[in-house]
Amino acid sequence: MNTSYTTYADKQIASFRQKGNGMPLVLLHGFCEDSRMWEDWLVGFEAYHILRIDLPGFGRSESIPDLSIEKMAEVVLAVLDQHKIKKCILLGHSMGGYVGLAVARRFPDRLAALGLFHSHPFADSPEKLAQRQKGIEFIEKTGHIYFVKQLFHNLFPSAFIRSNQMLVDKLIFRASQLPPQNIIAAIRAMMDRPDESAVLEQLDFPVLCIMGVEDRIVPDNHLDQAAMPAIGSIHILPKVAHMGMFELKKKTQRIVRQFIAFVSA
């Protein structure tokens, strides 16, 4: 993939493009991740037009002041403009899904479809807000190394971690290289995001939702989103938590390829 940099607020945003056939598939990573998370999952997508973006403060992208989900959506638009992509399928994992929903609300004409990969449209509950605030205070007091280790151990089922310890350790190591202030900025951005349920209900293009039965990160009411899109492709994966691209790689690849074919048709 070719690496490019887009300027937003005088900061450099990294993106990685693989030119191929069909509608561009734009991939957004989740919290404490970066675009490298998609590398192994994209095996088999060599003929597709793929664009991966490092969101501000993650991967090779510089942090931006006063980070918010709204600004992340503007970053995505700036990258699309840089690459002259007028319309795409946008697939976001977790926090990337929050950004995708903001893009759908603000720039719906740029999307042919939206995918929520272990993500949801709901604002944080009071309990979730308190949990995130405790996370910020923990990082400020003790640093972020143990925080990211605990985070990734909560993203996978324990049996998967035992069988894939090297993979989980790699993800933890990458996150541990992040500046702690970037992690805190992203937590605050997620805390401040609005509820996007009405957006999901009003979209007139296809929406893909991939969910895991054992996902401990998304709220208990996340299954409610299955009935929201007017044109929806909903997949609820048994024995899968928050990282289906690793836990059930071939299945999720097949789901996304079928969704791309449906949208393109």
Question: Can you give the pTM of this predicted structure?
Answer: 0.97
Domains of the chain, start order: 2-125+194-264 (3.40.50.1820)
Residue 110's pLDDT is: 98
The DSSP annotation for the chain comes to: -EEEEEEETTEEEEEEEE--EEEEEEEE--TT--GGGGTTTTTT-TTEEEEEE--TTSTTPPP-TT--HHHHHHHHHHHHHHTT--SEEEEEETHHHHHHHHHHHH-GGGEEEEEEES--SPPPPHHHHHHHHHHHHHHHHH-SHHHHHHHHHHHS-HHHHHH-HHHHHHHHHHHHTS-HHHHHHHHHHHHTPPP-HHHHHH--S-EEEEEETT-SSS-GGGGGGGGS-SSEEEEEETT--S-HHHHTHHHHHHHHHHHHHHHH-
Residue 224's pLDDT is: 79
Q: Mean pLDDT in runs of 10 for the chain (265 residues)?
A: 95 97 97 98 97 98 98 98 98 98 98 97 96 98 97 96 97 98 98 96 96 86 80 94 98 98 94
Residue 18's pLDDT is: 97
Residue 220's pLDDT is: 67
